Structure 1
């Protein structure tokens, strides 16, 4: 996929209090206020004349300069520019297209090349909670339009590209997860059951039966206090598809539990092929859970 590029990157507030957000996103337009801006001068590119007009209104040269910078960005931005805004916890972006239209109430409207979108070029949702504060702080701007200072970061997010630092961190994380799998395979079956118990407890599950001492088909019996859900967990150091199928069949009629987990670290079961009603946690998924739970140090100490 071709990387996203732009000659200019701008943040825009779509009306006071977001008054124009719904219209802009729905109709694929860029709305802009500054009703006092002299449209004819702006359209001709007479920015000195615009500055003089705004200074006479504002009575302050600095304020007039800030006004002209925003107005000029709106009028002169073309399809090589990108505007972003934030609505409902999502980042939206678009490229302006065509001339500025002066509406009857003297506010402004421009068309966009392909409307607003809230995903990257590969379809990744641009959720604000997954974006850097360096970019999010642009929302604190008190005017209508400003430059995006975190431009390189923004273009990488729109292009689904990683910075060299993040790419290196992900590579190191993958190596650590591979090492975790190998370490899990050095555990005794009792210690592996204990590890699984610790993983679930860090996720909020509470054990209500003894490890390895419950019903024949259940190694861990758990409850999630926040929802009162009950789960049973079968833990296998080594597992086969036949063992999984047998286990599922024996529990097909069980109605005392809301979830079933089947956990193993060695075996020929495909982690993506979960039977109906069964959550499979094989070495790949379990290593991620061990890492996220902060149990890698515990694991190293157990086998060292």
Structure 2
């Protein structure tokens, strides 16, 4: 399934979002402009609708904008999309059927299959992961407006990347692979330092070094926000047997709330992760290094 649309519109579901909950739950669209002559709209007599609102507004330009919003609500069909923002998400739907007049003269329409707060791939359409160019449509002072960022919207709904974003993600994958290779060039002392810097960037504080054996360095960390204490086992090379050894030590230690097992070379069974134990292998560590902004530091260390 691919989402396509002839037109896309943004709609405010009531003043201050008063109809949001009702519409999202029932899978409907609701619209004001209560005074609008319904028969003119059904007949497509949009000049009469404009003239009606001119008599109320006293300004033809404002009335024309009113008429365009009313027309969009009445004439949009299943080839169109409506979007709205609520509860930190972008929701989208397809209108269908005739316009219904409610008891308060508000207008209501059904949707094809309700409102959706996810892409077709099931990814939540969280506002914090949507371009500001699309988000600013919420600043529209009226009720309905056309979405200018329609191509971007459709890519978002279809889980598609723009060419620029696809290129950026490919470059990031290459960078992460390069970071893994660079980490393997570090001395065990520098690898320990890198791990220490990564944990420091995420809020952990180093409060001690428990042991110092070449290629095996244990760190003791504390997270100030929660008071958690963690035992970090850093190994240049690791395997499942070495993990089991340190899991046994952790289970016997009452001082620590968590254990991190960190390595850059070797194979460790993924099922070794248990309550309180976090495995950080080369790929995961590379991502943490990248996110902490330590890629340049790493390059300089091995140059």
TM-score category by the smaller chain? over 0.9
- Following superposition, the deviation at residue 213 of structure 1 comes to 4.1
Pairing 1:115–2:128 present:
no
Unaligned runs of 5+ in 1: none
CA shift in 2, pair 1:32/1:272, >3 Å: farther
Aligned length, in residue pairs = 301
1:219-277 Cα offsets, whole Å, 9 max, x none, are 11111111111111100000001110111112212222221110000011245752333
Residue in structure 1 matched with residue 197 of structure 2 by the alignment: 198
Correspondences of 1:224-263 after superposition (within 5 Å): 224-263=223-262
Correspondences of 1:200-219 after superposition (within 5 Å): 200-210=199-209, 212-213=211-212, 219=218
2:209 aligned counterpart, secondary structure: coil
- Following superposition, the deviation at residue 149 of structure 1 comes to 0.8
CA distance in 2 between counterparts of 1:270 and 1:142 reads 57
CA distance in 2 between counterparts of 1:115 and 1:36 reads 27
CA distance in 1 between counterparts of 2:164 and 2:254 reads 49
Unaligned runs of 5+ in 2: none
- Is contact 2:84-2:92 (8 Å) kept? yes
Residue in structure 2 matched with residue 269 of structure 1 by the alignment: 268
CA distance in 1 between counterparts of 2:95 and 2:295 reads 50
1:41 aligned counterpart, secondary structure: helix
- Is contact 1:79-1:95 (8 Å) kept? yes
Residue in structure 2 matched with residue 69 of structure 1 by the alignment: 68
Residue in structure 1 matched with residue 54 of structure 2 by the alignment: 55
CA distance in 1 between counterparts of 2:21 and 2:261 reads 46
1:164-211 Cα offsets, whole Å, 9 max, x none, are 000000000000110000000001111101100000000011000037
- Is contact 1:199-1:293 (8 Å) kept? yes
CA shift in 2, pair 1:272/1:21, >3 Å: farther
CA shift in 2, pair 1:211/1:191, >3 Å: farther
Q: TM-score, normalised by structure 2?
A: 0.96
- Is contact 2:192-2:217 (8 Å) kept? no
Q: TM-score, normalised by structure 1?
A: 0.96
CA distance in 1 between counterparts of 2:84 and 2:221 reads 44
- Is contact 1:239-1:268 (8 Å) kept? yes
